[in-house]
Amino acid sequence: MASVPQDGQINNWLKWSTAELALTLEDNTQEAEWLLSSLLNCTKSELYIKENELTKQQSALFEHWISSRIQGVPAQYITGWTEFYGRRFNVNTSVLIPRQETERLVDVAIYSLQELKSPHIVDIGTGSGCIAISVADEIPAATVLGLDISRAALVIAEENASINNVANVQFLQTDFLRYNPPKPIYDGLLMNPPYIPKKEMVTLTKEIRDHEPNLALTDNGNGLLFYQHLADSAKKWVSPGGWLIMEVGLGNHPQKVKKCFERNGFEHLELIADYNTDDRILKVQVV
C-alpha cells in the first residue's frame, strides 16, 4: 500500500488514490479522478491544473472515500450523485444507480412520444426518477408521473426533479402490482422493473448484490412478474395507440418478455438494441 500523502497537493492525492484503487479495480485512474473531482466540485481535467490544496478535513474524507471504494461501495453512493442523460442525479442506497444502457429507454420514449400534443406518461418503478425526469425535461409539453413502492426512493426522485428544475413531473407512492388506475389516461408507459431472476442474484458482482436495493433488482421469481402483470393490465393504463416502452435483460430474457405480450394478443412489438447491439428495449403498441 502506498503511503498516505502528508500534504494537501492534489497531484499527490491523485497518485496515491490511483495506486490504492489499482489493488482492486481495473479502471482505477478514472475512479480516482471521479472521486477526487467530486470532492473538490470540479471537472476531471481541472484536477491537473488546480493550484489549491486539500484541507485536512478534505484529506481525511477522501481517505475514507477511497477505503470505502476498496471495500466495494459503489463510487456513486460514496459521492452521492451520478450522471444520466446529461443531467446530475442524487443517489443513495434506496435507489438503483442509473445505468448508461437505460439511456436507450429515454431515447425511445422521446422518439415515440414527442410529437404528441400534450402526452401523459407514467414511469413504473421510477427509483431515482432518472427516466421520468429526463423524459419530462426533453418533452416540455408532457405531463409525467413516476410511481414507486418505496417512499425513500421517491424522496430522492423529488430532490432530483428540483435539482434539474423540472416541474412537469410528479411522483406517487404505490404498488404497481396492486394499483388500478381510474382509466387508461396515459399515452406512454415506461418501465425498468426488477427483472433479475432470483436464482441469478448470486451471479451479480458483490458490489451490486451487497449495496444496491434488492427491491429494484429482482422480483424474487423468474424475472417476468412485472412484465406479465403489465401484459395483463396494459389496457387499463394506456389508451389505444399508446406505447409501452420497457427495459429488458440480457440473454434469452428479451424473448421471454416478448412472449408475455404475444400470449396476451399484442401484435405490434419491437425489440430495440442498445449501443452494444444487445436487445434491451421492448416497445409495444396498445390497440
Residue 239: Cβ-neighbour burial (10 angstroms; 0-12, 13-18, 19+): middle
pLDDT in tens, 123-133: 999 999 999 99
Per-position DSSP letters for 112-126, written without gaps between them: HHTTSSS-EEEEET-
Percent of residues, the chain, with pLDDT higher than 70? 99
**Looking at the predicted structure, is the pLDDT value of residue 18 above 90?**
yes
Q: What residue ranges define each of the domains in the chain, with the CATH number in brackets?
A: 10-71 (1.10.8.10), 94-285 (3.40.50.150)
Q: For 151-158, what is the mean pLDDT? A: 98
- Angle of helix 130-138 relative to helix 151-163, nearest 10 degrees, comes to 30
Q: What is the pLDDT of residue 260?
A: 97
**CA dist list (Å): 233 to 23, 48, 124, 174:** 49, 54, 13, 16
Q: What would you measure as the largest C-alpha separation in the chain, in angstroms?
A: 68
Collapsing DSSP to helix, strand or coil, 36 comes out as helix
- Please count the other Cβ atoms lying within 10 Å of the Cβ belonging to residue 277: 7
Can you tell me the distance from the alpha carbon of 248 to that of 245, in angstroms, rounded to the nearest whole number?
A: 10
Residue 56 pLDDT grade (very low, low, confident, very high; cuts 50, 70, 90): very high
pTM: 0.95
**CA dist list (Å): 6 to 41, 94, 231:** 22, 36, 60
Can you tell me the distance from the alpha carbon of 171 to that of 278, in angstroms, rounded to the nearest whole number?
A: 31
Closest CA to 141 of 169, 165, 172: 169
pLDDT in tens, 94-145: 999 999 999 999 999 999 999 999 999 999 999 999 999 999 999 999 999 9
Residue that has been written with the C-alpha cell 441469478 in this structure: 200
Supply the DSSP symbol for 49. T
Report yes or no: 137 and 131 within 8 Å, Cβ to Cβ: no
